[in-house]
Amino acid sequence: MSDVLRIGFAVEGSTDLVMLESAVAAILPGYELETVRLQPEVSDSFIALAGTTGLGWPGVYRWCREAVEKGGGSMSGGPVFESFDAVVLQLDADVAAATYEQGHIDDETGDLPCEEECPPAEATTNALRIVLLRWLGEATEPKKLAICMPSKSLEAWILAGFYPSDPIVKSGALECRAKPERLLSGKPLNGRLVSGKHKDFDMYRNRAAEFAQKWALVEKKCAHAKRFAVELRTAVKGGGQ
């Protein structure tokens, strides 16, 4: 067993990336992690660039379709898994309410939107997983893939970890709360991650290590965080670790 794990990240944006890198370190303690940013492309100064695929969920969609093209019809048929012990692929569950037209994507399948009534949150995330697998050209989840699908967004996990006394977190309804980033915008100025509609990348980066420390609490409050942790460990095992 190697003590070094090489993990690829295909995510919606740079704030997601820094938090998920810390979460992965918390999920896989005892390993040295080598992380590679697959999507979106970012500069050394961590300022997000559109690259060839773009940002947000449309960027993830385009990255998936490029991977399928390189794989001759499926992600697993291409080279993306060859250099990694696991690949983390993030898609927030609020994407289930979107349309391809909103993402400026020409896709006539009609499988978006696919949002279901919440609760239960998994009704929507399970439907969106089927959509994501189609983007990847897969019938089932590849062994080295760990799907990260927060409900409704990664900010729900952040809220659970940093502000466990928040009424929405305590209510148990957090994973059905739309736009949890709005709740973050009302938190104390010292350490505030979101102001209005603006995510403070520097603050996300500064608090990423704290997020890792809070990960056990995140899993306790958010079932989809626990699901991601299980999938990641399974993916690493599938990679031969």
Residue of 10, 132, 228 whose CA lies nearest to 124? 132
Look up residue 78 and give its two tokens.
Answer: 């291409």
Per-residue pLDDT at 240: 52
pLDDT over threshold 70, residue 53:
no
Q: Which pLDDT tens digit goes with each residue over 80-103?
A: 999 999 999 999 999 999 999 999
**Is the per-residue pLDDT at 241 higher than 90?**
no
- HSE-CB at 75 with a 13 A cutoff on CA atoms is 25
Q: Could you tell me if 241 and 143 are in contact, meaning their C-beta atoms sit under 8 angstroms apart?
A: no
Q: What is the pLDDT of residues 169-209, one digit of tens each?
A: 999 999 999 999 999 999 999 999 999 889 999 999 999 99
The answer to whether 146 and 232 have CB atoms below 8 angstroms apart is yes
- Tell me which DSSP letter residue 9 carries: E
DSSP-derived secondary structure for 101-136: TTTT----S--------SSSHHHHHHHHHHHHHHHT
Residue showing tokens 């704290």: 210
- Residue 44: pLDDT above 80? no
Confidence bin at 1 (pLDDT 50/70/90):
very low
Residue pair 38/80 in contact (Cβ under 8 Å)? The answer is yes
CA angle in degrees (0–180, nearest 5) for 163-187-23: 45
Neighbours of 216 (CB within 10 A): 14
Q: How far is CA 93 from CA 24, 43, 45, 114, in A?
A: 19, 27, 28, 10
Contact indicator for 131, 189 with CB cutoff of 8 Å: no
Look up residue 90 and give its DSSP letter: E
Would residue 57 be called left, alpha or beta, if left means φ above 0 and alpha means ψ between -120 and 50 degrees? alpha
Please compute, for residue 176, the number of CA atoms within 13 A of its CA located in the half-sphere on the CB side. Answer: 12
Q: What's residue 47's pLDDT?
A: 41
Whole-Å CA distances, 51 to 40, 42, 123, 163, 241:
7, 8, 33, 34, 32
Token pair of 23 as six digits: 């979460």
pLDDT in tens, 65-74: 999 999 999 9
Percent of the chain residues past pLDDT 90, beyond the cut: 88
**Residue 50 in this model has a pLDDT that exceeds 60:** no
SS3 47: coil
pLDDT band at 42 (very low <50, low <70, confident <90, very high): low
User: Mean pLDDT in the chain?
Assistant: 93
